[in-house]
Amino acid sequence: MQLRVLQQLSELSPSQWSQLQLTGNPFLNPVFLTALEHTSVVGGDTGWQPCHLLLEDAQGIAALMPTYVKYHSYGEYVFDWVWAEAYESQHLEYYPKLVSAIPYTPSEGSRVLLRIDYSFEQVLPHFLAGIQQLVRQYKLSSWHLLFPDQHSYQQGLKQNLLGRTSCQYHWQNTEGWQDFEQFLNSFSAKKRKNVRQERRKIVDQGIKLRRVRGAEISQSQLRHFYQCYQTTYQQRGRQGYLNMDFFQYLVEQMPEKIMLVEAYIKDELEQNCSIAAALFFYDQSRLYGRYWGSRADVDCLHFEVCYYQGIEFCLEQGLTHFDPGTQGEHKVARGFSPYLTHSNHWIAEPLFSQTIQQWLKSEQQQIEAYAQAIDLKTPFRK
């Protein structure tokens, strides 16, 4: 088994790609990964330098792990600024580091594409041996595997990688709800009333909603979405990580994985005027809420576009899991529950590795206690 580093995914031919099994996850799809490079949202001066890890054996490609050399920690959502500060306090460099992740996408999933005759536990030791060699060769501080699925995370722990736990808020249809009303009836009376009031506010202001699948998204709808997306970032004093070419590429190349929610009103000429939008991805069982924006300050509009419309879509399509994005305790009152996600880490400097390991144990206890406390606040009838 040999490890090879790819500076661009375009180095792989279609026949080489075909040796790897698709997982169904939209973010590990070759279209999504190549879109990042094709539209320059990674590479260049973005701080995400592609350094993809390819395992090969006598039969060809065995496994591919999307990986990047990182010169900062933006766009990762596993926050390690305090680690960087600790390095700096000892006059050491934390950056650059090596990160295996989906850029700008804090969503749990497989982080390796495999040939059919290999499993993650079989290839992980080979990846780790090559990673540790690369880290030392190029004087990197560390390697980080962000938001792996639960199985991959546990395999990392077995290889003595450090483990870190985070808390998100996900919707899961564990009760077999068939429609939104049935879902809402599982709430306590007060919480059910609050949700209905929030949705009524949208209707009373003359705002309409529509869900559009990828192949049906028009150019004007995509432009309106992108304007909303950038407007929301500009309100925070910066530009969004992603550009219009990136979204255009995805809608054209993988429309079967995309759904757009659009909020609109009618203007004086009775023309539909888009005021907010959110772009979702989905696979066989999960919906992923990723990008949102609004050009109007409307009470409860974010809840309707990003949460309630997504839940309705899941119920209509038989999807059982909705990952609406990272952070946001306000999701709990709207039917989302604490959901633990993870990351694995290898720190090259032994003393820092030991110190961080102790810090992570304390943090995990706090995170798990927090999740248990928040779980008691969900709106469902106890």
C-alpha pair distances (Å), 139 with each of 39, 66, 116, 327: 29, 20, 34, 33
Q: What is the pLDDT at residue 149?
A: 98
Q: Are residues 158 and 186 in the same domain?
A: no
d(CA 323, CA 222): 22
Q: What is the pLDDT at residue 106?
A: 97
* Parent domain of 76: 2-167+339-375
Q: Are residues 102 and 209 in the same domain?
A: no
CATH of the domain at 107: 3.40.630.30
CB 359, CB 157: distance < 8 Å: no
| CA angle, 356 then 357 then 361, to 5° | 115
Q: Are residues 227 and 309 in the same domain?
A: yes
The answer to the question of residue 16 being in a domain is yes
Q: Are residues 289 and 358 in the same domain?
A: no
DSSP-derived letter for residue 21 is P
The answer to the question of residue 200 being in a domain is yes
Q: Are residues 58 and 153 in the same domain?
A: yes
Q: Are residues 110 and 20 in the same domain?
A: yes
CB 123, CB 157: distance < 8 Å: no
Q: What is the pLDDT at residue 192?
A: 98
Considering its fold, how many domains does the chain have in total?
Answer: 2
The answer to the question of residue 253 being in a domain is yes
Q: Are residues 240 and 187 in the same domain?
A: yes
- Tell me phi and psi for residue 58, to 5 degrees: -65, -20
The answer to the question of residue 193 being in a domain is yes
Q: Are residues 130 and 40 in the same domain?
A: yes
- Domain end point (choices 319, 350, 367): 319
**How many separate helices (H) and strands (E) can be counted in the chain?**
12, 15
The answer to the question of residue 325 being in a domain is no
Q: Are residues 45 and 163 in the same domain?
A: yes
CB 228, CB 293: distance < 8 Å: yes
Q: Are residues 156 and 188 in the same domain?
A: no
The answer to the question of residue 327 being in a domain is no
Q: Are residues 246 and 369 in the same domain?
A: no
CA nearest neighbour of 249 among 103, 95, 39:
39
Q: What is the pLDDT at residue 236?
A: 84
Q: Crossing angle of helices 350-375/81-89, nearest 10°? A: 150
Q: What is the pLDDT at residue 271?
A: 66
Asked whether the CA dihedral 76, 82, 86, 89 is positive or negative, the reply is: positive
Q: Are residues 182 and 149 in the same domain?
A: no
* Strand runs labelled E in 7-138: 48-50, 52-57, 60-65, 67-70, 97-100, 113-114
Q: What is the pLDDT at residue 269?
A: 46
What tens-digit pLDDT sequence spans the chain (382 residues)? 999 999 999 999 999 999 999 999 999 999 999 999 999 999 999 999 999 999 999 999 999 999 999 999 999 999 999 999 999 999 999 999 999 999 999 999 999 999 999 999 999 999 999 999 999 999 999 999 999 999 999 999 999 999 999 999 999 999 999 999 999 999 999 999 999 999 999 999 999 999 999 999 999 999 999 999 999 899 888 899 999 999 999 999 999 999 999 999 976 445 678 999 999 999 999 999 999 999 999 999 999 999 999 999 999 999 999 999 998 999 999 999 999 999 999 999 999 999 999 999 999 999 999 999 999 999 999 7
